[in-house]
């Protein structure tokens, strides 16, 4: 019986390891290739970007190469010292994503508090509507967003991205579920002590939901850090577009730079994850165990 | 919830540092980038006209320069001209000191030496050519050949005679072979006859036994005849009795049970004949005992027995007779055989003797024939020996004749060579004499005069100086032939000018001159005949002086072009000429400029600008200078000025 259990665990470990390696491969490839020279990258992937006129030294098929022939910081030097465009795009991303995260977490917390504190058919119906919205893919709401942005006159401004990003049913749903597990007696006790709604919200609920707020913030950050469709549709001005869009339109001569930029672009997300890893795990775990 | 949290403060610090660094880099990024980019100067490509002019420099030279030379070593007494002086033909140039020159003395000595050599050669070459010894040797050899040939004729054997002898040998050999075969056959037959004769015997020819047998046979026949006669008598006598008994016996037989079982007549008759004797004896002893019938029957029976015995005796005598006859016949055959083989043996002996004699005769004939052929062979050998001797002598004769001929040829050749040498000596003497005369008369009494009209360009010797053989004493530019200048240009440039075109001439930085230059010919430049040409100008006008450096410009063809760029913007590599134009690319920080290579073809060019065609249009910015080497699509920075 014990042998059977050990065998089972070993098999699960091997399968998990294989999947982990598969999922990690693109990231590892990006990081390792960012240390290659432009010539080596052209030789390996030139055929993809120069399909019409491949260079004589370009291999006929794209070659996935993990170890550089000669480790070079040429791409990083180009990105950091010779290409202000990439750095500006990075800050464009920051300018777009940071307000979205703050505003979305704030509005979601207030909305969730409302759903938690007041119950009734109307509230239940509204919450159900939120769930329906949450299930809809973003692309469905893209056209209405465009029309509304145009109507509001904020098309081709950063607000056309930030404003729709403020209101996200998924965050509201998660926070509502989390807040509903706060014991009612705690809130009642606060009320007896003379606390108002704002005080209850800020002093009782938010501290209790810190892990959930952190996990939502991380998820929202990752989501909007990697956005591509919204800026393309709502922000035609290339000067205002985030780096994620710029990366997707990289051309043949800048493949090596793209690897370096992608690696740099990865750092904020990684740091955020490392910083809030425990909150993220805790928050998701609690949300998973919450009973509505 | 209460688990101890990991310290993640470092992550915050890293994030802050990361963002600060990026902020810093962003702030200074333009500055850093602009520092690293090459700064370029640009100029508009414009439309306009280009005047094609070929420029170059040349040195004025006289078309013809007369060199004053001397052929002997003499001391210069005085120099009558100086550089730059104008002289006319016949003007005095140099005065020489008195006395023979070294060259004249040497020439005279050479003449004397040659004459002496000629005299010696005349004596040396008076040789006589005598061939008597060789001719005598030839005559002697011819005599020996004739004598040997006379001896050889005695041993001549004609082919016909030799063939007859050899045919006779062959015939005799055939006869011997035939005789041998016949003799062998006869010997073989004799041996066979002897063998056959040994096995036969003469045989027995005695006839007594036959006679005795015949007598015995006769007696037996007589006894039989008697017995038969007796039987016949008794049969006739007692025939009736016998018939009675016989009938009774037949009746008995026919009454027997055995007879009754028989079905056919033949079986019955055979049965009766078989049983008749027994039954007759039985009937006699049973029914006629003691009677006459019994007596007759017994007598008859006895007679029959006597006849049967007589018959047996006769047969026995016949057999004895036959045996005696057979024995007699066998004896006769042996006798015959004996005689036959005896005769054969004697015949074979006679044949063998005849054949042996024939064989012996044939062998003798063969020996005689062979002896004849052998004698002929000996004669032939002798004949051949003489022939070889004659051939050897003839070979010696040929060699002697050939040697004589060769000797004569060599002597003839030597005579010719001697004649040539003598002629050469005579020629040398004539030349030496001429040389002496030439040197004696060349200086015309010790003065050198000008032979042309011109200007003395240089004087290479001073008074008191010694001249050397063939030394140039002075150079005189022949004014009448004019002046010229050459300029090296490319083959492409040379196509743009035509003979007869005039070139602008300037002699220095301060301005023009009265000198005119007219293109007289276009030649290959010896320094680079494939790519370069030499333009040769005829120089005329005032102030023309050889050695003057002049600047020439030729070709005046002005033409309008759509795109003209500065020469400094033109670049070239293995793929041809090209220019870099400035391409603007919008970016968040404003326009970025990059250099884009445009391949062009140069249509015309002057000192400053070049007309080009290709993917460039008027009002494109072309890069003229840059602070660093630039490449296609490289980002650049425009010079602020």
Q: B530 to chain A nearest CA, in Å? A: 36
- Given this model, what pLDDT does residue A59 score? 55
Distances, alpha carbon A171 to alpha carbons A107, B373, B638, in Å: 9, 148, 51
Are B418 and B466 found together in one domain? no
Q: B596 to chain A nearest CA, in Å? A: 15
Residue B12 belongs to some domain of the structure: no
Are B407 and B530 found together in one domain? no
Nearest to A238 by CA among B26, B586, B593: B586
Which range is least confidently modeled, A9-18, B394-403, B602-611? B602-611
**Are the beta carbons of B26 and A82 separated by less than 8 Å?**
no
- Chain B residues whose CB is inside 8 A of the A89 CB are 588
Residue B336 belongs to some domain of the structure: yes
Are A257 and A201 found together in one domain? yes
Are B512 and B561 found together in one domain? no
In a mutational test of the B interface, the residue from A87, A266, A282 whose CB has the highest number of chain B CBs within 10 Å is A87
Are B508 and B565 found together in one domain? no
Are B354 and B476 found together in one domain? no
The predicted-structure confidence for A134-171, as pLDDT tens digits, reads as follows: 788 878 888 888 999 999 999 889 999 999 888 888 88
Nearest to A145 by CA among A129, A134, A133, A160: A160
Report the b/e string of B520-545 with b at 16+ CB within 10 A.
eebeebeeeeeebbbbbbbbeeeebe
Are B543 and B587 found together in one domain? no
- Given this model, what pLDDT does residue A292 score? 37
Are B473 and B371 found together in one domain? no
- Given this model, what pLDDT does residue A98 score? 95
- Given this model, what pLDDT does residue B580 score? 93
Residue B535 belongs to some domain of the structure: yes
What does the pLDDT average to over B321-336?
74
What does the pLDDT average to over B468-481?
83
- Given this model, what pLDDT does residue A110 score? 93
Residue B393 belongs to some domain of the structure: yes
Residue A83 near chain B (CB below 8 Å): yes
The predicted-structure confidence for B541-600, as pLDDT tens digits, reads as follows: 877 777 788 888 887 667 788 889 998 898 888 888 899 999 887 766 667 788 999 998
Maximum Cα interatomic distance, chain A, rounded to a whole number of Å? 81
H-helix or E-strand spanning residue B147: helix B132-153
Are A126 and A253 found together in one domain? yes
Inform me whether the pLDDT recorded for B346 exceeds 90: no
Are B250 and B183 found together in one domain? yes
Residue B279 belongs to some domain of the structure: no
Distances, alpha carbon B619 to alpha carbons A29, B196, B581, B607, in Å: 46, 150, 10, 21
Q: A129 to chain B nearest CA, in Å? A: 32
The predicted-structure confidence for B348-366, as pLDDT tens digits, reads as follows: 888 888 888 888 888 998 9
Cα–Cα dist B462/B53, whole Å: 48
- The tally of domains found in chain A comes to 2
- Given this model, what pLDDT does residue A19 score? 92
- Chain A residues whose CB is inside 8 A of the B15 CB are 268, 271-272, 275
The predicted-structure confidence for B405-426, as pLDDT tens digits, reads as follows: 988 888 888 888 888 888 888 8
Are A92 and A228 found together in one domain? yes
Are A45 and A167 found together in one domain? no
Are B351 and B314 found together in one domain? yes
Instruction: Order across the sheet with B65-70: list the strands.
Output: B65-70, B471-478, B454-459, B86-87
Cα–Cα dist B205/B333, whole Å: 10
Between chain A and chain B, the number of residue pairs with CB atoms below 8 A apart is 67
Q: Would you tell me which residues 177-236 of chain A have a C-beta closer than 8 angstroms to some C-beta of chain B? A: 211
Confidence of residue A12 (pLDDT cuts 50, 70, 90): very high
What does the pLDDT average to over B16-34?
85
**Pairing relationship of beta strands B511-512 and B571-573 according to DSSP bridges:** unpaired
Structure tokens at B85: 């002086």
Are A48 and A188 found together in one domain? no
Cα–Cα dist B236/B238, whole Å: 6
Nearest to B557 by CA among B590, B520, B604: B604
Cα–Cα dist A174/A215, whole Å: 10
- DSSP lists the bridge partners of residue A180 as none
**Are the beta carbons of B22 and A91 separated by less than 8 Å?**
yes
Q: Across chain B, what does the average pLDDT equal?
A: 82
Contacts of B143 (CB under 8 A, 6+ apart): none
Torsion sign (Cα): A251, A252, A255, A256: negative
Confidence of residue A56 (pLDDT cuts 50, 70, 90): very low
The predicted-structure confidence for A180-189, as pLDDT tens digits, reads as follows: 888 888 888 8
What does the pLDDT average to over B467-481?
83
Q: Report the CATH number that the domain containing residue B595 is assigned in CATH.
A: 2.40.420.20
- Given this model, what pLDDT does residue B123 score? 81
Residue B446 belongs to some domain of the structure: no
Highest mean pLDDT among B260-264, B312-316, B520-524: B520-524
Q: A250 to chain B nearest CA, in Å? A: 14
Q: Across chain A, what does the average pLDDT equal?
A: 84
For B11, which of A92, A253, A274 is closest by C-beta distance? A274
Q: Report the residue of chain B nearest A238, measured CA to CA.
A: B588
Task: Report the half-sphere exposure of A274 (CA within 13 A, side-chain side).
Answer: 15
Are A152 and A103 found together in one domain? yes
> Which of B553, B587, B608 corresponds to the end of one domain?
B553
**Are the beta carbons of B15 and A84 separated by less than 8 Å?**
no
- Given this model, what pLDDT does residue B56 score? 81
Are B93 and B121 found together in one domain? no
- Given this model, what pLDDT does residue B327 score? 72
Torsion sign (Cα): B489, B495, B499, B502: negative
Q: Which range marks the domain in which residue A267 is found?
A: 81-289
- Chain B residues whose CB is inside 8 A of the A90 CB are 22, 26
CB atoms within 10 A of CB B21: 11
Q: A133 by DSSP, 3-state: which?
A: helix
- Given this model, what pLDDT does residue B91 score? 87
Inform me whether the pLDDT recorded for B378 exceeds 70: yes
Angle at A30 between CA A27 and CA A36, to 5 degrees: 150
Q: Which range marks the domain in which residue B418 is found?
A: 109-257+292-422
Q: Report the residue of chain A nearest B633, measured CA to CA.
A: A253
Residues in chain A: 292
B474 alpha-carbon distance from chain centroid: 72
In a mutational test of the A interface, the residue from B588, B628, B633, B636 whose CB has the highest number of chain A CBs within 10 Å is B588
Are B414 and B510 found together in one domain? no
Cα–Cα dist A149/B279, whole Å: 177
Q: Report the CATH number that the domain containing residue A104 is assigned in CATH.
A: 1.10.3720.10
Residue A81 near chain B (CB below 8 Å): yes
Helix axes A169-179, A84-117, angle to 10 degrees: 40
For B36, which of A82, A271, A275 is closest by C-beta distance? A82
- DSSP lists the bridge partners of residue B602 as B612
Contact B637, B39 (CB under 8 A): yes
Are B633 and B620 found together in one domain? yes
- Given this model, what pLDDT does residue A54 score? 46
Are A68 and A170 found together in one domain? no
Inform me whether the pLDDT recorded for A48 exceeds 80: no
Q: Report the residue of chain B nearest A210, measured CA to CA.
A: B1
Inform me whether the pLDDT recorded for B30 exceeds 80: no
Torsion, Cα of A59, A64, A70, A76 (10° steps): 110
Residue B439 belongs to some domain of the structure: no
Residue B440 belongs to some domain of the structure: no
Which range is least confidently modeled, A128-132, B217-221, B236-240, B319-323? B236-240
Structure tokens at B118: 């000629």
Inform me whether the pLDDT recorded for B442 exceeds 80: no
Q: Report the CATH number that the domain containing residue B92 is assigned in CATH.
A: 2.40.50.100
- Given this model, what pLDDT does residue A38 score? 81
- Given this model, what pLDDT does residue A152 score? 92
Query: Could you tell me which residue, A135 or B169, shows the higher pLDDT?
Result: B169
Inform me whether the pLDDT recorded for B473 exceeds 50: yes
Percent of chain B past pLDDT 90, that is, above it, reads 4
Contact B533, B519 (CB under 8 A): no
Contacts of A162 (CB under 8 A, 6+ apart): A96, A99, A100, A103
> Which of A43, A72, A101 corresponds to the end of one domain?
A72
Inform me whether the pLDDT recorded for A52 exceeds 70: no
- Chain A residues whose CB is inside 8 A of the B30 CB are 84
Confidence of residue B100 (pLDDT cuts 50, 70, 90): low
Are A56 and A92 found together in one domain? no
- Chain B residues whose CB is inside 8 A of the A282 CB are 1
Are A160 and A67 found together in one domain? no
- Chain A residues whose CB is inside 8 A of the B33 CB are 81-84
> Which of B532, B553, B574 corresponds to the end of one domain?
B553
Contact B619, B45 (CB under 8 A): yes
Inform me whether the pLDDT recorded for B77 exceeds 90: no
Q: A111 to chain B nearest CA, in Å? A: 25
Distances, alpha carbon B326 to alpha carbons B218, B318, B323, B521, in Å: 18, 12, 5, 157
The predicted-structure confidence for B273-311, as pLDDT tens digits, reads as follows: 888 888 888 888 887 777 777 777 787 777 778 778 878
- The tally of domains found in chain B comes to 3
> Which of B553, B571, B606 corresponds to the end of one domain?
B553
Are A60 and A90 found together in one domain? no
Q: B8 to chain A nearest CA, in Å? A: 6
Inform me whether the pLDDT recorded for B7 exceeds 80: no
Residue A269 near chain B (CB below 8 Å): no
Inform me whether the pLDDT recorded for A95 exceeds 90: yes
């Amino acid at each position: 019986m014990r042998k059977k259990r050990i065998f089972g665990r070993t098999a699960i470990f091997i399968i998990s390891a294989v999947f982990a390696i598969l999922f990690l491969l693109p990231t590892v490839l990006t990081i390792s290739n960012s240390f290659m020279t432009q010539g080596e990258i052209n030789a390996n992937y030139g055929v993809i970007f120069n399909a019409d006129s491949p260079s004589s030294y370009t291999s006929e098929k794209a070659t996935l190469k993990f170890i550089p022939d000669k480790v070079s910081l040429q791409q990083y030097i180009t990105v950091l010292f010779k290409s202000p465009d990439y750095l500006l795009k990075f800050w464009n991303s920051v300018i777009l994503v940071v307000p979205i995260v703050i505003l979305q977490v704030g509005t979601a917390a207030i909305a969730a508090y409302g759903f938690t504190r007041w119950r009734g058919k109307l509230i239940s119906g509204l919450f159900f509507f939120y769930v329906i919205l949450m299930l809809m893919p973003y692309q469905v709401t893209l056209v209405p967003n465009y029309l509304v942005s145009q109507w509001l006159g904020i098309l081709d401004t950063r607000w056309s991205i930030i404003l729709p990003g403020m209101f996200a049913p998924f965050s509201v749903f998660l926070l509502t579920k989390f807040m509903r597990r706060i014991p009612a007696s705690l809130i009642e006790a606060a009320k007896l002590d003379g606390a108002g709604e704002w005080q209850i919200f800020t002093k009782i609920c938010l501290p209790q939901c810190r892990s959930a707020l952190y996990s939502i913030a991380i998820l929202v950050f990752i989501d909007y850090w990697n956005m591509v469709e919204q800026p393309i549709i709502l922000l035609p001005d290339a000067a205002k577009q985030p780096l994620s869009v710029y990366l997707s339109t990289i051309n043949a001569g800048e493949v090596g730079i793209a690897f370096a930029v992608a690696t740099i672009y990865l750092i904020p997300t990684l740091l955020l994850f490392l910083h809030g890893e425990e909150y993220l795990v805790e928050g998701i775990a609690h949300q998973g165990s919450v009973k509505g | 919830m209460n688990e101890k949290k990991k310290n993640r403060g470092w992550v915050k610090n890293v994030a802050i540092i990361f963002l600060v660094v990026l902020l810093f880099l962003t702030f200074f990024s333009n500055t850093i980038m602009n520092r690293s980019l090459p700064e370029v100067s640009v100029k508009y490509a414009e439309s306009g006209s280009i005047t094609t002019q070929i420029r170059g420099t040349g040195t004025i030279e006289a078309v013809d320069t007369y060199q004053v030379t001397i052929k002997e070593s003499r001391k210069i007494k005085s120099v009558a001209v100086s550089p730059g002086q104008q002289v006319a033909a016949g003007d005095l140039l140099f005065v020489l000191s008195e006395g023979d020159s070294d060259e004249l003395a040497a020439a005279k000595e050479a003449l004397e030496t040659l004459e002496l050599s000629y005299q010696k050669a005349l004596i040396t070459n008076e040789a006589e050519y005598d061939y008597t010894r060789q001719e005598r040797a030839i005559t002697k050899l011819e005599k020996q050949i004739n004598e040997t040939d006379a001896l050889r004729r005695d041993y001549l054997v004609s082919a016909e005679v030799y063939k007859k002898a050899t045919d006779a040998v062959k015939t005799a050999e055939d006869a011997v072979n035939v005789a041998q075969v016949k003799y062998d056959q006869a010997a073989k037959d004799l041996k066979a006859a002897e063998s056959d004769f040994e096995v036969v015997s003469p045989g027995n020819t005695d006839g007594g036994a036959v006679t005795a047998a015949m007598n015995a046979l006769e007696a037996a026949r007589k006894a039989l005849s008697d017995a038969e006669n007796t039987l016949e008598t008794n049969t006739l006598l007692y025939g009736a009795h016998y018939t009675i008994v016989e009938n009774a016996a037949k009746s008995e037989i026919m009454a027997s049970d055995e007879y009754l079982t028989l079905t056919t007549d033949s079986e019955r008759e055979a049965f009766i004949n078989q049983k008749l004797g027994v039954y007759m004896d039985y009937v006699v002893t049973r029914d006629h005992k003691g009677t006459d019938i019994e007596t007759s029957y017994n007598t008859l029976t006895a007679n029959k027995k006597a006849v049967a015995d007589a018959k047996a005796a006769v047969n026995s005598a016949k057999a004895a007779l036959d045996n005696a006859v057979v024995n007699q016949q066998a004896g006769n055959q042996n006798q015959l055989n004996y005689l036959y083989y005896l005769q054969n043996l004697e015949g074979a002996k006679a044949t063998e003797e005849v054949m042996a004699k024939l064989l012996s005769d044939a062998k003798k004939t063969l020996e005689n024939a062979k002896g004849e052929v052998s004698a002929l062979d000996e004669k032939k050998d002798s004949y051949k020996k003489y022939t070889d001797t004659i051939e050897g002598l003839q070979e010696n004769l040929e060699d002697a004749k050939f040697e004589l001929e060769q000797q004569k040829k060599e002597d003839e050749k030597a005579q010719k060579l001697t004649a040539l040498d003598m002629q050469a000596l005579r020629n040398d003497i004539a030349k030496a004499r001429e040389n002496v005369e030439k040197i004696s008369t060349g200086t015309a009494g010790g003065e050198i005069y000008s032979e042309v009209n011109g200007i003395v360009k240089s004087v290479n010797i001073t008074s008191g100086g010694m001249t050397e053989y063939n030394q140039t004493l002075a150079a005189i530019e022949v004014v009448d032939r004019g002046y010229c200048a050459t300029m090296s240009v490319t083959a492409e440039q040379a196509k743009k000018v035509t003979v007869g075109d005039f070139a602008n001439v300037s002699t220095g930085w301060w301005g023009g001159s009265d000198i005119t230059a007219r293109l007289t010919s276009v030649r290959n430049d010896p320094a680079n005949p494939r790519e370069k040409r030499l333009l040769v100008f005829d120089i005329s006008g005032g102030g023309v002086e050889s050695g003057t450096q002049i600047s020439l410009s030729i070709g005046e063809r002005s033409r309008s072009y759509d795109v003209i760029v500065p020469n400094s913007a033109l670049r070239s590599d293995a793929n041809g000429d090209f220019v870099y134009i400035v391409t603007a690319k919008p970016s968040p920080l404003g326009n970025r400029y990059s250099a884009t290579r445009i391949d062009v073809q140069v249509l015309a060019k002057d000192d400053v600008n070049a007309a080009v065609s290709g993917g460039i249009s008027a009002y494109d910015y072309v890069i003229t200078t840059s602070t660093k080497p630039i490449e296609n699509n490289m980002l650049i920075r425009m010079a602020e000025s």
